[in-house]
Amino acid sequence: MKTKYFTHFSLFVLSITVLLTLMISRATTSEICPISDSIYRDANGQGFELVFGPPPVGSAVHGTAVIDHPQQAQLYQFRMFQSSGYGTVWLWDKDPDQPDNDWRFWIAFFDQDLASATPLYLGAETEAPQYAVVAGLGSHDHYQRRGSVTEETPPLLGDTMWIRDRCQ
């Protein structure tokens, strides 16, 4: 009889240990996901993803970002940089083949309470904020792709909020 209780107790302790280990590993994982490792999805539910990446080696930019859609990967490619001083964050879409195509979009981040969460120093944050808004991107996409959107291409992006979906 004592052996039966001891076996049940041992299984209970083992189960609790495994559960606590999983909870701690998930908490640790979410705490160490900076913006440069994050993927955001569009709040409009159209299937767009804003995928951040680290800066290219030897580059002066703070990171990269691309907008993907299941119908077209890398719809837009950005370099991410931050102003000195106040620390405004920008997504820069520059086409080296066309010098007149030099677009910069201000990106602002917000926490789960919709309070400002734009980091003063990109790369110093340990957790990517919950939400982001890219000012002017919907209008830019409209004028770049209007008249060429079909059933085989992604829909127009529109003005959307971005919601942190997962870490890479």
Residue 49 has pLDDT above 80, yes or no: yes
Mean pLDDT taken over the chain: 83
First to last CA, the chain: 50
Q: What is the mean pLDDT of residues 108-129?
A: 90
* pLDDT tens digits, 52-99: 999 889 988 899 999 999 999 999 999 999 988 778 999 998 766 766
Q: How confident is the model at residue 26 (pLDDT cuts 50, 70, 90)?
A: very low
Q: Is the pLDDT of residue 21 over 80?
A: no
- What digits encode the pLDDT tens for the residues 136-145? 999 999 999 9
Q: In this structure, are residues 49 and 76 in contact, taking their beta carbons and an 8 Å threshold?
A: no
Among residues 35, 34, 66, 30, the alpha carbon closest in space to that of 48 is found at 66
Q: What is the DSSP string of 104-148?
A: EEEEEEE-TTS-B---SSTT--SB--SEEEETTHHHHHHHHHTT-
Q: Which secondary structure element, helix H or strand E, spans residue 164, and what is its range?
A: strand 161-167
Query: Coil, helix or strand for 88?
Result: coil
At 122 the pLDDT is 84
Structure tokens that stand for 81 in this block: 């940089």
